[in-house]
Amino acid sequence: MTTYSKFAFLGIAVLRSVGIGIALAATVASASAAPIWQETGDVSSLLDNNYTYTGDSTTRTGSVVFNNQIAYNYGTSARQIGMYIAWPWSYQSAQSGPGVPLLWDNNSQTFVGDGISMTVKRLDVTPLQYLRLSDVVDDTWIGNPWTPNSPGFTEPAIATQGSWEVPFFDFGVVAAGGSASYGIQLDLTFDDQGKFDEWDRAGSFYVIGQGVQAVPEPGSVALVGLALLAAFTARRRSMSRRDQA
């Protein structure tokens, strides 16, 4: 199998392969308190061919592992960035026909649809993090049916829901123009043996994520303002004493 670039969606590159397709990003998790996340288009990752695929007929599961992938901060300043994963489709027989939309299920923490479930694993950081979509500032996709609309494909639209707590990759703080590496594994399990056998022979999947950036909490902004005010007051007092002298 070989991957190739298909198109870019909100800074998250989408890749397809003859047998497997994926679009994702990840990096080093931040050790600070959980930030507030905001939608951004300045996060990007193109998956390369550094991957392995294995199919297990006993469990009817196909697994693809990407190691040493790179995520970029195309913003103009250093900031904490990340990405949530929310739009997957599965294809039988080498991507022929409409893809099966896999919708997120909070209870099982998997994407599910038509007898297929997909789990996400992060290889460089554990445990896997999750992000509630209603907590993302300026998120434009909740309740908004969307499909990649790629030439030659007719994916059913997926509308994300605010209650979804989807897989999330925290990049940590990345310099402007900088990057971070990550690893990821996706496992697709089929209820039907025949469907798994066909998918294992020539199927694929398509996964898309949305980039986010950390924003200061209102309390932090206020503290910064107070610090600046204190510094300005101290400077004025210093100047006043020099004038009196």
Query: Does a structural domain hold residue 238?
Result: no
Q: How many domains does the chain have?
A: 1
Query: Does a structural domain hold residue 226?
Result: no
Q: How confident is the model at residue 97 (pLDDT cuts 50, 70, 90)?
A: low
Query: Does a structural domain hold residue 146?
Result: yes
- Is residue 14 over pLDDT 80? no
Q: Would you state the pLDDT for residue 77?
A: 93
Radius of gyration for the chain, computed over Cα atoms and rounded to the nearest angstrom: 22
- Is residue 72 over pLDDT 80? yes
Other Cβ atoms closer than 10 A to 70: 16
3-state SS, residue 241: helix
Query: Does a structural domain hold residue 193?
Result: yes
145-162 pLDDT per residue, tens: 988 766 566 788 999 999
Q: What is the pTM of this model?
A: 0.77
Q: How confident is the model at residue 218 (pLDDT cuts 50, 70, 90)?
A: low
Q: Please state, in angstroms and rounded to a whole number, the distance separating the CA atoms of residues 105 and 108.
A: 6
Q: Please state, in angstroms and rounded to a whole number, the distance separating the CA atoms of residues 85 and 209.
A: 4
Query: Does a structural domain hold residue 67?
Result: yes
Q: Which residues pair with 84 in a beta bridge?
A: 168, 210
Query: Does a structural domain hold residue 242?
Result: no
Q: How confident is the model at residue 175 (pLDDT cuts 50, 70, 90)?
A: very high
Domain extent, residue 134, equals: 3-216
Region of 234 (left: φ > 0; alpha: ψ -120 to 50; beta: rest) is alpha
Query: Does a structural domain hold residue 223?
Result: no
Query: Does a structural domain hold residue 10?
Result: yes
38 close to 75: Cβ distance less than 8 angstroms: no
- Is residue 108 over pLDDT 70? yes
Give the residue, 168 or 223, on which the prediction is more confident: 168
Q: pLDDT averaged over the chain? A: 78
User: Rounded mean pLDDT of 1-13?
Assistant: 28
